[in-house]
Structure 1
Amino acid sequence: MSDLNRQRRRLLGAGLLSAALPAFALERPERPDGRFIFLFLRGGLDGLFAFAPAADPRLASLRPGLAKTVLSDGQPLGSTGFAAHPSCRALSDLFARRELAFAPCAGTPDKSRSHFQAQDLFELGNGDTRGQQGWLARAGEAWQGRFRLIGFTANPPLALQGATPPADLMPLAGSSLQVRQNRSLDAIMAMHAQQASGRALDQAMQTQAELDAIQGMDARAARGAAGINGFARSAETMARVLRDNPRLAMAFLDLGGFDTHANQENSLGRSLPQLGEGLLALKTGLGEAEWRRTQVLICTEFGRTVRENGTQGTDHGHGSLALLAGGALRQGGRMLGDFAGLADSALNEGRDLPVRVDWRSLIGRVLQDTQGFPLATLQRILPGLPGLA
């Protein structure tokens, strides 16, 4: 990393955690078969930007701006016909090591294109937008008190609603440089003019202004979730908590910042590297032995339109990208589900990716692999479960 980038990172801040490590009582040092970490990206990630079907000849015409970088500099994902955007290098490296799989057309049957309805349906996991319990709370009950749930959130998410006993909560927070434009700032900028520090300040201020605009658009869709900034630092502490507390068998984390109606290249170009770095920090913090028994499922409430819009962004869609990571994946290094291409006839309503992999089948597979739940238990946790991915 250059000196300029180091200065810029210091100026922007690196995501400081506000909560102390909880002290969980370990009456019995037992542990389940594995550990399940569920990461929900609120706002509707454009999966076609992150992992693009570069082999499809229609991609360039449907996304003349947004596909340029991945078509010229993307990292091929094996023989799938997809390529990872350069901002997803950490994710493509995990794929190459068979520690990551991806489903390009995952999601729920919801077609409302409403963040709130889609998120409710996803988190309840019962095929409805109403219910007394989230799917993760129902999964916790299946242990009959032997293990614990944790949410790395300030407030209980809907997925943990109705958990008995209630899930432990540990919010992860971040901070970044906040400087007001005034005479003091003008004096500081004058002192650092023509120096590397001055250029770093310029970049920091520009980045902060862009982040403020993005956060303003995305705040409602994020539902109070922590921003992606500083995720790598937060993941280090999250890993330490999980590693030191074997009874924390399942964890929930949500991150906001993915509602990209405009200026998507800049927005996701910053967010996606932090997602990958956070996943690597989680792997490192857990250690080799724990990583081998951990699976991380990363989902979003819906995808985006296949065609880019007039403001270099995308609008609410249907099917989207789901990622499954871990140290001992049976499905590592491959694509989950099928992909029928980008022809209008293959799309949902001629504009969005369809859903080829039901969200419950992804969750069910990870629950079976990490918690050892039989099919009858999975069907109680996920009513209407269509099959395992």
Structure 2
Amino acid sequence: MSVLPCCLGRRTALRALTAAALLPLAWRTWAAPTAAREGRLVFVLLRGGLDGLHACSPVADPRWPSLRPTLAQPVLQGGLALPGSGFALHPALADCLALYQAGELWFCPTAGSPNTSRSHFQAQDVIELGTGASSGNTGWMGRLASGLDGRMAANFAVNAPLALHGVGGTVEHIPLARNTLRLPSGPLQDALLRAHAGSPSQRWLQQAIDTQALLAQADPDQASRNAAPLAGWAAQARQMGQVLRQQPELALAFVDLSGVDSHVNQAAGLAQPLTQLGQGLLAMKTALGEAEWARTRVVVLSEFGRTAAENGTRGTDHGHGGLALVAGGGLGREGRMLGDFAGLQANALFEGRDLPVTLDWRSLLAAVSQAVFGLSARALDQVFPGRPAWRAPWEGSHAG
């Protein structure tokens, strides 16, 4: 696969990736800026099933340390309290704490869909379709973009996502820079190591081999669908912010990231991705500037959460309810929790092992879309059919 870097100036047309050509979307490159100053929605899909309880831990629940005797330690030793919520952020998410304290980050620990599958692929499809079903012809962002009166969507992922399937107009395809080089294995890899033996490049080559092995271990079933790793998200989020600031007519933006499927040795495996997640949100805010950030809402989701208890390999397995983040300027005077959290006792867990879903993702995304674009209930019904009723705390506000 070719590598297409994110371009910040106006250049010649980007070559569409093969996967993009398979979908009935009209892909093109940079468009001329417009004077449109309506709101913007950025959707960040963390493929792999982020353990929301690791990122945002229910420290007030007495069962939490016993369910996670090793995984609870980072937050027990250095967690960042979210006042009034009973939760604390992982110490790697210091940048998220800054946004929360500024009233620019809200969270839901129990978001999800009615689909109870613990399959990465099916759960991801349910999110991207936005209908509650696992199959369909259009994605929720495609339906939403088609009703925005000429404003456009941007895809920052390497592949064309199901979420943008069915867009009636054009989609900017702006894949973020990533390294898709895969090192050889077996005898050829051994020969490379021998050739570099004793030179400074030997250490860098070995690090690349080790990193590739870790990524393969973290994503054995290809749950990432070729999404860029969270490891480089901070720099990529800055690029996204710069692009969106220059292109105010881009009303919708999609990006997917990987590296959160954590069955084994989770504490070490998630430390860097969580750091990058927080740094990326702050980097996007900085790159957008205060005015653009004020009219932007960023929604971060993963296809499902993880088990409430850690497993025998100091990781967690596929679950149900999970973490959702909503970021943007002017959400409120301080951050807050969305949805409900009934605790970690067995009778409060889904099937006795997972967090339940108390806030349907369709309801959350619909509420954010209404606040950003001022859409009617009828229009939202077309984008998110069958969504449960939910009154958002910001209902009646307009990001723009």
Q: Paired residue for 1:352, among 351, 354, 363?
A: 354
Q: Which residue of 2 aligns with 1:11?
A: none
Which residue in 2 is equivalent to 1:65?
A: 70
**How do residues 16-55 of structure 1 correspond to structure 2 at under 5 angstroms?**
18-21=5-8, 24-26=30-32, 28-32=34-38, 34-55=39-60
Q: CA deviation at 1:233?
A: 1.3
Structure 2 distance, partners of 1:20, 1:123, is 26
Question: Structure 2 CA distance, aligned partners of 1:331 and 1:155?
Answer: 38
- Give the distance between the partners of 1:285 and 1:17, measured in 2 at CA: 21
Does structure 2 conserve the Cα–Cα contact (< 8 Å) formed by 1:102 and 1:324? yes
Q: Give the match for residue 258 of structure 1.
A: 260
Q: Does residue 151 of the first structure (1) align with residue 155 of the second (2)?
A: yes
SS in 2 for 1:283: helix
d(CA) in 2 for partners of 1:267, 1:163: 36
Per-residue CA distance 1:167-201 (angstroms, 9 max, x = gap): 22111132399886623443136x99xxxxxxxx5
Encode CA deviations 1:317-374: one digit per residue, 9 max, x unaligned: 0000000111111485100011000000000000000001110111011101111111
Alignment check: 8 A CA contact 1:305 1:352 kept: yes
Matches within 5 A, 1:1-389: 18-21=5-8, 24-26=30-32, 28-32=34-38, 34-144=39-149, 146-175=150-179, 182-188=193-199, 201=203, 205=206, 209-210=210-211, 212-218=213-219, 220-330=222-332, 332-388=334-390, 389=392
CA contact (8 A) 1:78 1:96 kept: no
Q: Which has the higher mean CA deviation after the structures are superposed, 269-278 or 161-170?
A: 161-170
Question: How many Å separate the matches in 2 of 1:317 and 1:113?
Answer: 6
Distance 2:34 2:211 in 1: 49
Distance in 2 of aligned mates of 1:152 and 1:370: 20
Question: Is the CA contact (8 Å cut-off) linking 2:102 and 2:333 kept in structure 1?
Answer: no
Q: Which residue of 1 aligns with 2:20?
A: none
Secondary structure of 2:343's match? Answer: coil
Offset, 1:166: 3.7
Q: Secondary structure at the match of 2:301?
A: strand
The 8 Å contact of residues 155 and 169 in structure 1, kept in 2 or not, is answered as no
- Over aligned residues, Cα RMSD in angstroms? 2.3
Number of residue pairs the alignment of both structures matches: 362
User: Secondary structure in 2 aligned to 1:109?
Assistant: coil
Distance 1:208 1:281, change over 3 A: farther
Q: SS of the residue aligned with 2:281?
A: helix
CA contact (8 A) 1:46 1:303 kept: yes
Percent sequence identity over matched residues? Answer: 48
Q: Aligned to 2:169, what secondary structure does the other structure show?
A: coil
Shift of 1:88: 1.1
Find the aligned partners of 1:176 and 1:283 in 2 and give their Cα distance. Answer: 27
The answer to whether the Cα contact below 8 Å between 1:17 and 1:173 also exists between their aligned partners in 2 is yes
State the 1:155 CA deviation: 2.1
After TM superposition, the score normalised by the length of structure 2 is 0.85
Query: Is the 8 Å Cα contact of residues 43 and 300 (structure 1) preserved in structure 2?
Result: yes
Q: TM-score, normalised by structure 1?
A: 0.87
Q: CA deviation at 1:17?
A: 6.9
Q: 1:188 to 1:223 in 2, by over 3 A?
A: same
Q: Which amino acid aligns with 1:37?
A: V
Q: Residue type matched to 1:247 in 2?
A: E
Unmatched segments (≥5 aa) in structure 2: 11-28, 184-188, 393-400
**Cα drift, residue 143 of structure 1:** 1.5
- Structure 1: gaps (5+ residues): 1-15, 193-200
